[in-house]
Amino acid sequence: MKILSVNAGSSSLKFQLFEMPEEKVIASGKIERIGLPASIITVKTNGEKRCKEKNVHDHAEAVQELLALLLDLKIVASLDEIKGVGHRVVHGGEKFSDSVLITDEVIAEIDKLSELAPLHNPANLIGIQAFKQVLPNAKQVAVFDTAFHQTMPIESYLYPTPYSWYEKYGIRRYGFHGTSHKYVSERAYKLLGKGPEGTKLITIHLGNGASVTAIKDGKSIETSMGFTPLAGLMMGTRSGDVDPSILPFAMQKENCTFEEALNALNYESGLKGISLISSDMRDILKGVNEGNRQCILAFNLYVKRVCDYIGQYYILLGGCDALVFTAGIGENSGQTRQAIIDRLGVLEIRLDAEANQVMGQECVVSTSDSKIKVLVIPTNEELVIARDTLRLIS
């Protein structure tokens, strides 16, 4: 059975087409610059990449283009072969603790939750509506970034703000990247040869966005992102946790609006803000290795913040069986992993220097005498979406 896994943004749509239950990727690709002149459509199949430029006015047209390409390239013989479409939806609030089949009620709920994720949920909904229109016979499933973290206990998700803010407006920690933390934790149990029961994991997703999660008995018990994905670790362009009083102070000093100050925390901070050159860890590491002072500062700040969370979650979990590194930096940068482990000296973790050279492959990178195992596990959110879609439409 063919299942499409979809990630719709405000001007882009990324997809992977799976043959399920074999979990084989038949095609993947993206449509960028939707609604702008010269949209770019890219499809990869059988190791071959094809690009096309065309004006694509909206998401419905983007979906039509994509499906026409799948037919043209004979990736599918008929659109009826696509039995399910799974959508990444960023915010599921307190309503969704698992993926769901999309109905009109679910659409209305996702729409209501747009208030909590104004940049993401509306774009996700546009993708859902577009597929509903173009593939009316395929069943659609929503897979939420927040769902995996709905198991957090109240002490982990409640902020010490007026309780009425939580009751009236849902102001609390939700956490994000849930699909990624869930996927790598499930792979970790396989690699460790243990079930989730009694196993304590700290999963460390270090990409452009970054978050850490404490997982006990297969359940998220705390995660570093919060009410929004701005909280927690220092990221590519996001500051992570800062004192909220910085905002009005910076607004006054910089003579800027609230929106401009918040944009500075979202888009001009993190690695970019401190290094003064780039949000991309590869550029930062190049700078570090060349002795660039700002890059060294950015890197050290980044590493310290990751370690702060690992230390906190080690205590929260009452120990830890394995640290799991994932996403662009976590999967590919041995130098970053090494710097993090070096700073956690008190935990007596030992990295195997040779194994730690690994890039983008599942691997145990700690030595056999390490007190805590260290794993590198490439994330695969698209596969989780396809699996959940298959489970819910079968």
Residues with catalytic annotation? 145
Q: What region does 162 belong to: left with phi over 0, alpha with psi -120 to 50, or beta?
A: beta
Q: Is residue 267 at the binding interface for ligand AMP, with CB under 6 A as the rule?
A: no
CB of 100 to ligand AMP, least distance (A): 26
Nearest 5°: phi and psi at 229?
A: -75, 10
Nearest 5°: phi and psi at 344?
A: -100, 30
**For ligand AMP, the closer CB: 133 or 289:** 289
Site for ligand AMP in 23-42 (CB under 6 A): none
Q: How far apart are CA 189 and CA 347, in angstroms?
A: 21
Site string for ligand AMP, 334-363 (x = CB under 6 A): -------------------------x----
The CB-nearest residue to ligand AMP is: 328
Which segment (22-30, 92-100, 125-133, 327-335) binds ligand AMP by CB under 6 A?
A: 327-335
| Cβ-Cβ contacts under 8 Å for 333 (sequence gap 6 or more) | 206, 281, 285
Residue among 126, 29, 99, 194 nearest 390 (CA): 99
Q: Is residue 328 at the binding interface for ligand AMP, with CB under 6 A as the rule?
A: yes
Angle, nearest 10°, between helix axes 121-134 and 59-72? 50
Which segment (34-42, 74-82, 117-125, 275-283) binds ligand AMP by CB under 6 A?
A: 275-283
CB of 286 to ligand AMP, least distance (A): 10
Q: Is residue 332 at the binding interface for ligand AMP, with CB under 6 A as the rule?
A: yes
Q: Is residue 320 at the binding interface for ligand AMP, with CB under 6 A as the rule?
A: no
Question: 160: how many CB neighbours lie within 10 A of its CB?
Answer: 5
**For ligand AMP, the closer CB: 59 or 238:** 238
Among 34, 134, 184, 329, binds ligand AMP (CB under 6 A): 329
Among 9, 229, 236, 240, binds ligand AMP (CB under 6 A): 236
Burial 116-129 (b: 16+ CB within 10 A, else e): bbeebbebbbbbbb
Residue 319 gets which letter from DSSP?
S
Among 29, 84, 93, 207, binds ligand AMP (CB under 6 A): 207
Residue 28 near residue 13 (C-beta atoms within 8 A): no
Interface positions with ligand AMP (CB under 6 A): 207-208, 236, 280-282, 285, 327-329, 332-333, 359
